[in-house]
């Protein structure tokens, strides 16, 4: 068995488990108009921007000056997750038996800055640190270097599914016996002009909203695109045997996972939902769980016309008459790309633990093409056997993660959510 024993969350709605989950339950949005001095102030209308934070020692000194924002965010999330899990490397975990898997698109800020520098000043302006700024494995590598984690280390690049796939890959590593503990998730810092403008020019982003908090509205008839956001989130996955041996408690178990491909289109989901439905079925089979045992699905639900409908069809195919409650927390966080799947996995794990389902805020008029048991307007109390979290990415990448109650002591015992 595999238990989540630690979480590190940096999101537009806050930092840390208590702050983030409370915001998701009670509707505190992290979406705003970029301030005038922000790099994307003239590029896109709205964004999910992280609250101010202190990078501390991470960004100080000559090494910190060449780190992309994705690396800094990943290290902060790693700090939080390892501390939350109560792990001390070399004392209660073997450094050769702890892995690191972090997804994301890489250092977009560094790439943009360096291209502009070269265009303005020529070859001499290109930094010799360009590669270590943009490589997608650098968040994982820098975390491994900083904390001395010598086990399996990898980066996942499956677009918006990358953080969820990092969790699935971590679970597979622990199941196979290759690791006792894996620090896994994603870090994304896409709020820079060129990257943001590609989504704007594709007319994929929400637009025309006077109140930024209303712009992201998954499954709602008036939805007109997603809100681009930044963030980092890492979970500590641990074999239950290892966790119990060191006296650790957990939030939830990773009971199963499914990963597959639509094999359909570079950007559009399969409209018949068959790929995503099969992915959900694989997660259930992986966990030995029947559809009727799943009481909640945290949907990918980005607030796009095609995506929300395709996912609704897929959920119907996967669960049939056993309709689970469904919500999308992107209404508050916006779309943090690969990081979204990790935050949503955390929300699903906490929903199992707390028996409280976060609603889809802004869902005022559900689209008839999305006939689901929507959790809306306020949290719903529910005793869950299992919850499922979906993440889908460009290229037809599908990941579904299945969560059940912790097989260790309950880490949230006594919490007043």
Q: What angle do CA 118, 336, 405 make, to 5 degrees?
A: 145
Rounded to an integer, what distance in angstroms lies between the CA atom of residue 110 and that of residue 207? 27
Query: In terms of Cα–Cα distance, which of 166, 170, 131 is closest to 151?
Result: 170
Among residues 184, 242, 335, 370, which one is catalytic? 335
Annotated catalytic residue 38:
no
Among residues 160, 184, 279, 370, which one is catalytic? 160
- Give the CA distances from residue 217 to residues 10, 143, 233, 390, in Å, rounded to whole numbers and listed in that order: 22, 35, 23, 17
Beta-carbon-side half-sphere exposure of residue 125 (alpha carbons within 13 Å): 12
Rounded to an integer, what distance in angstroms lies between the CA atom of residue 87 and that of residue 338? 25
Rounded to an integer, what distance in angstroms lies between the CA atom of residue 162 and that of residue 186? 7
Q: What angle do CA 99, 69, 16 make, to 5 degrees?
A: 65
Annotated catalytic residue 184:
no
Rounded to an integer, what distance in angstroms lies between the CA atom of residue 79 and that of residue 70? 14
Query: In terms of Cα–Cα distance, which of 168, 236, 184, 243 is closest to 410?
Result: 243
- Helices 108-121 & 69-85 angle (0-180, nearest 10): 160
Among residues 242, 279, 300, 370, which one is catalytic? 300
**What b/e string do you get for 137-168 counting C-beta neighbours within 10 Å, with b at 16 or more?**
bbbbbbbbebbebebbbbbbbbbbbbbbbbbb
| R_g (Cα) of the chain, nearest Å | 20
Instruction: List CB contacts of 113: < 8 A, sequence separation 6 or more.
Output: none
| Cα torsion angle, 43, 44, 45, 49, sign | negative
Rounded to an integer, what distance in angstroms lies between the CA atom of residue 296 and that of residue 340? 17
Rounded to an integer, what distance in angstroms lies between the CA atom of residue 79 and that of residue 73? 10
Decide: 254 and 401 in contact? Cβ < 8 Å.
yes
- Do β-strands 356-357 and 380-381 pair in parallel, antiparallel, or remain unpaired? antiparallel
Annotated catalytic residue 300:
yes
Catalytic residue numbers read: 160, 300, 335
């Amino acid at each position: 068995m595999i238990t989540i024993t630690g979480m590190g969350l940096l999101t537009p709605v806050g930092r840390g488990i208590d702050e983030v989950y409370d915001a998701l339950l009670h509707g505190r949005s992290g979406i705003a108009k970029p301030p005038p001095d922000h790099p994307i102030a003239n590029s896109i209308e709205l964004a999910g921007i992280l609250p101010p934070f202190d990078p501390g020692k991470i960004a100080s000194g000559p090494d910190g000056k060449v780190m992309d924002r994705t690396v800094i965010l990943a290290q902060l999330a790693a700090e939080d997750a390892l501390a939350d899990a109560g792990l001390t490397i070399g004392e209660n975990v073997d450094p050769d038996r702890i892995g690191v898997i972090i997804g994301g698109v890489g250092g977009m800020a560094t790439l943009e800055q360096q291209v502009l520098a070269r265009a303005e000043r020529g070859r001499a302006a290109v930094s010799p640190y360009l590669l270590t700024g943009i490589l997608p494995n650098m968040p994982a590598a820098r975390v491994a270097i900083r904390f001395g984690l010598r086990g399996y280390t990898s980066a996942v690049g499956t677009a918006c599914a990358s953080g969820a796939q990092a969790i699935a890959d971590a679970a597979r590593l622990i199941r196979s016996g290759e690791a006792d503990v894996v620090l896994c998730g994603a870090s994304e810092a896409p709020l820079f002009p060129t990257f943001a403008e590609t989504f704007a020019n594709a007319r994929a982003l929400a637009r025309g909203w006077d109140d930024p908090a209303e712009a992201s509205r998954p499954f709602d008839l008036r939805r007109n695109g997603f809100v681009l956001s930044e963030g980092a989130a890492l979970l500590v996955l641990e074999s239950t045997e290892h966790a119990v041996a060191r006296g650790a408690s957990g939030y939830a178990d990773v009971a199963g996972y499914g990963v597959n491909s639509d094999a359909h289109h570079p950007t559009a989901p399969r409209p018949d939902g068959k790929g995503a439905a099969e992915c959900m079925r694989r997660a259930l089979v992986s966990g030995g769980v029947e559809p009727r045992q799943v009481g909640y699905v945290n949907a990918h639900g980005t607030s796009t016309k095609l995506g929300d409908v395709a996912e609704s069809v897929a959920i119907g195919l996967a669960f049939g008459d056993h309709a689970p409650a469904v919500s999308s927390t992107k209404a508050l966080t916006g779309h943090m790309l690969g990081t979204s799947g990790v935050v949503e996995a955390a929300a699903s794990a906490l929903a199992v633990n707390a028996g409280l389902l976060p609603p889809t805020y802004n869902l005022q008029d559900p689209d008839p093409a999305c006939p689901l048991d929507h959790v809306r307007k306020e949290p719903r109390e529910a005793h869950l056997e299992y919850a499922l979290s979906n993440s889908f990415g460009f290229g037809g990448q599908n990941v579904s993660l299945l969560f059940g109650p912790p097989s260790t002591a309950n880490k949230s015992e006594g919490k007043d959510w």
